[in-house]
Chain A
Amino acid sequence: MTDTKTTILHQERIVPQIFRLCLSSPGIAQEARPGQFVHLRIREGTDPLLRRPFSIHRVDRERGEVQVLYQVVGQGTRLLSRKPVGERLDALGPLGHGFEVSEEGGGVLLVAGGIGIAPRFFLCEDWLRGRAGTALIGARTRDGILCHDLLRSGGVTVHIATDDGSFGDRGVVTDLLNAQLEAGREASASPIVYACGPVAMLASVAALCRAYEVPCQVSLESRMACGLGACLGCAVKVRSSVPPGYEYQRVCTEGPVFEAEEVIW
């Protein structure tokens, strides 16, 4: 893990409120694994005070570049979106425990809600090359559907759902998942599911996967302070074999990727 001053190489607005940031950081690019995150110090000074965590969206190991895909939701992300190319940015990373990819088994099913596509993309690029992969992407409207072209050109089969039907099927991403799991059951091919998005969506994905007895990994979010496992601020509730039957784990250290079965929603 490195604490480095990275440099902003590009920053572009993809759709209103969603930006792609490209940083120069050979150290992070080299070490990063899909599902891990970087902890960015938005600015010097005390407001905002704490760092902000973002999934690693994509890396280019040869060029030493790291990309983050983020949505403006508050003061920190707004300030980040205004940073000019060439500015230095303090990035701590790569942090956390990423996706576990097994070599065996059937296809891979990626499920993403909204900005949850961000870490999914790195997973595809890094590990899916040549393997059967399907991505299910959901958002409220067509503006929220990101990266589908890139995924398709990488050989991934993409299905899309929007709440208002402005792109792909009208409905939610879990409808797409249900259809895929049903089809998989008929063909007796058991996929592995990787999901990221809003908590409510993840809980439904986890329930579906449990019903179909399909393994599922979810990438969780929580507010963070240290990002290093020291403050215990990022706790999530997970099952435990000892009384009282649950414990807390750290999203920044044991996560952000957890086995869906372990999480208490």
Chain B
Amino acid sequence: MSTVLSKKNVPDLSIEIGPIHLKNPVLAASGTFGYGQEFEAVMDLSRLGGIVTKAITLEPRLGNPPPRIVETASGMLNSIGLANVGVAAFVRDKMPFLRSCGTAVIVNVAGRSMEEYVEVARRLSDCPGIHALEINISCPNVQEGGLAFGADPKVAAAVIGAVRDVTQLPLIAKLTPNVTDIAGIAAAVQEAGADAVSLINTLVGMAIDATRGRPELGGVTGGLSGPAIKPVALAMVWKVAQAVRIPVIGMGGIMNAGDALEFMLAGAVAVQVGTANFVDPTSTIRIVEGLEDTLRERGMGSVKEIIGALEV
């Protein structure tokens, strides 16, 4: 059998996302894990494959008016907005801790204009300890009338291309599911120089309080996440994995190792865990352990044997 099995029977969970080496394929998803420190008291952060930070913008942002969240059937809607400390305070106050966590640090970058993405990426490039940037092209583009940058293949490619020009850091393009052809967008950002794609961001949704005759969220509509979106996410990951050569990072409703395996079978090289962190703050570590157990049970030496192994 495999050579790795002879080494104390510990399966190899490490993977590569383009130029980035991760000790395991489980990352904490943007916006659900703060700046890492919030989870320090409940877990050993060094056991994670990596941490993706909350979206960082050029200036600090206050975010949307409350209520910002509401639970829906097997999921939740959020309208946090891009509330964050801004790139300067992030580099000064948040990076020292993240750098010391013993795990890969991926910074999620957002902007309202092309220039904002470029400027944030440029400033982060000078900061040591960042392993990659995840470019969140799901935010509304103010210049193009509020449509997400990621909703149009040309605009998406333009953002990735512009950021590519100012940084040596590996770039992950985070795709929105609120489009008709996500594979087309993925192909476009690949051509523009993205090292990987990650998907899916939240689906646009709405909840109404019929008694009061008002929307449940201060932002009226919000982003749906959690188990409710998993089938949609799986289908999109599967489609995109066939359409591009670059690695795909899958997410959407992953609650346990079984869910993570499904995404990897569909072609994801790594997974991100979001809403599950709210339900059980140690979800990510449980998933790492569960993947390890599964590989051992199946006598597999490396997690790479699962990636894209779906038989259709």
Q: A interface vs B, CB < 8 Å?
A: 1, 3, 41, 46-51, 90, 92, 222-237, 244, 246-248
Contact = CB atoms under 8 A, between A and B. Distances in A.
A6 to B, nearest CB: 15
B227 A233 contact: no
Contacts of B73: 47
A230 B63 contact: no
Interface of B: 31-34, 38-39, 41-42, 54, 62-63, 65-71, 73-76, 78, 80, 83, 226-227, 255, 275, 277-282
B24 to A, nearest CB: 21
B78 A233 contact: yes
Nearest to B80: A232
B76 to A, nearest CB: 6
Given A92-B281, A228-B34, A230-B32, 5 more contacts: A224-B69, A226-B278, A232-B63, A235-B66, A235-B68
A35 B67 CA distance: 22
Contacts of A51: 278-279
A92 B31 CA distance: 20
A46 B73 CA distance: 8
A49 B75 contact: yes
B217 to A, nearest CB: 10
Binding site secondary structure of chain A: loop
Contacts of A246: 62
Binding site secondary structure of chain B: loop
Given A226-B32, A228-B281, A248-B63, A49 B74 contact: yes
A232 B81 CA distance: 10
Contact of A49 (B34, B226, B282): B226
A80 to B, nearest CB: 15
A222 B31 contact: no
Given A49-B226, A248-B63, A233 B68 contact: yes
Nearest to A229: B38
B78 to A, nearest CB: 6
Task: In the A-B complex, list the 7 residue pairs whose CB atoms are closest, starting with the nearest.
Answer: A230-B34, A233-B69, A230-B38, A46-B74, A225-B278, A46-B227, A226-B278
A49 B76 contact: yes
Nearest to A76: B71
A48 B75 CA distance: 9
A230 B69 contact: no
A92 B282 CA distance: 11
A48 B71 contact: yes
Contacts of B62: 244, 246-248
A232 B278 CA distance: 12
A228 B39 contact: yes
Contact of B39 (A48, A224, A230, A236): A230
Contacts of A92: 42, 281
Given A49-B275, A49-B279, A225-B69, A1 B42 contact: yes
Given A46-B255, A225-B76, A229-B34, A235 B39 contact: no
Contacts of A41: 279-280
Contacts of A226: 32, 38, 277-278, 281
B216 to A, nearest CB: 9
20 contacts: A46-B74, A46-B226, A47-B73, A49-B71, A49-B75, A49-B76, A49-B227, A50-B71, A50-B279, A92-B42, A223-B68, A225-B78, A227-B278, A229-B38, A230-B32, A230-B39, A234-B66, A234-B68, A234-B69, A248-B66
B280 A230 contact: no
Contacts of B68: 223, 232-235
Given A223-B70, A232-B80, A3 B282 contact: yes
Contacts of A237: 65-66
Given A230-B39, A233-B69, A235-B68, A50 B76 contact: yes
Contacts of B34: 228-231
Name which of A41, A47, A226, A231 has the most chain B CB atoms within 10 A of its CB.
Answer: A231
Contacts of B71: 48-50, 223
Contacts of A48: 71
Nearest to B218: A235
A231 B78 contact: yes
A231 B83 CA distance: 10
Contact of A230 (B226, B255, B277): B277
